[in-house]
Amino acid sequence: MDQKNQAGQPTAAPTIDQFAMTVQAGHLIRRCQQRAVDLFVEEVTRDLGEDGPTPRQFAVLLSAHQEPGINQTDLVRQSGIDRSTLTEILRRLIARNLIRREKSPTDRRTNALYITEQGDELLRRALPAVIRAQHRIMAPIPTERLEDVMATLEILAGD
């Protein structure tokens, strides 16, 4: 984004000595994401130990639960997880018998994903911890600003 002075006129870009990383949007978003992951892992580990899902695994399990038969393309679009990372996540979830992959009944070229009973059980057990983590993530934000913050996050996420 171009820097502007108080009159709205473009100013020279900061030099490397002037560039303040700690106030840059990208840096702050990355730090927020890391804090969200840390809180998620802390809460889930408290309830489920090391067998609990990661944030991305939880997203995949939840999507497979809410949309039985979802294909990988739609899951990439819905979750924001890139295709190669999703492939690895699915490999692990399938190995743990939490997700089942089958040829799609409507398009034999694609795979349909289904959550297993064990996956549903893990999702059910993880949900209270995930909800606590979500509350902790947003706790520093004053109640009257929550709606605006969520709207801003949706804009930044491209939703």
Domain boundaries, the chain: 21-140
Place of tokens 């057990």: 125
**pTM beyond 0.75:** yes
pLDDT in tens, 104-135: 888 888 899 999 999 999 999 999 999 999 99
State residue 127's pLDDT score: 98
pLDDT in tens, 43-96: 999 999 999 999 999 999 999 999 999 999 999 999 999 999 999 999 999 999
pLDDT of 11 strictly over 80:
no
pLDDT of 20 strictly over 90:
no
How far, in Å, CA of 119 to CA of 106, rounded? 24
- Averaged pLDDT, 134-138: 97
Q: How many CB atoms lie within 10 A of CB 41?
A: 16
| % of the chain surpassing 90 pLDDT | 77
Return the SS3 of 117. helix
Return the SS3 of 59. helix
The correct answer on CATH 1.10.10.10 for the domain covering 21-140 is yes
Q: How many CB atoms lie within 10 A of CB 43?
A: 21
Q: How far is CA 98 from CA 24, 66, 73, 92, 141, in A?
A: 39, 14, 19, 9, 35
State residue 159's pLDDT score: 58
Helix (H) or strand (E) holding 99: strand 99-103
State residue 55's pLDDT score: 97
